[in-house]
Structure 1
């Protein structure tokens, strides 16, 4: 099982981007989200390499939108990874624990 701390900083940010992007989280939308948060532009190949790793680790689903575009969504394992980190941060900040639609 992959934990939040097994991921690089960029991978953590990418996982959060997939959760945050509305509609279909495809590469250009994810790139735009991340470019707003990074000083230097994000390289496409860096995105694709990490998305492939996420798919291999079972954190992300890759679904074809059309012949040239894939959408990336979190699997239950990907959501659980983010949820556990949110719980940890909420506890450290003495905030109420996050509530989700079924993540444990």
Structure 2
């Protein structure tokens, strides 16, 4: 994937995002010293699977909660923010494929 190196400005200035970036940098340093490959995948929003046999969307996530609340209130929001979704079962295949790729030169 893409590496932002040591540019700490890539993380939003809040503890959660900053701690993810610091953790990623620490793991990259350890992997380099140990001579092993390391790749960090930063995900946005992961949706429930496409195939029902692969499980269900976690009900505590914001979209299932929004749907349940909208049903209870009998109204829905006028607009929602734009989100790029990836279904969890598709994401699992992507991660497996990347794990088995030859990453020389990346």
Q: What is the TM-score of this pair, normalised by structure 2? A: 0.27
Is the helix fraction higher in 1 or 2?
Answer: 1
Q: Which has the larger radius of gyration?
A: 2
With normalisation by structure 1, the TM-score equals 0.27
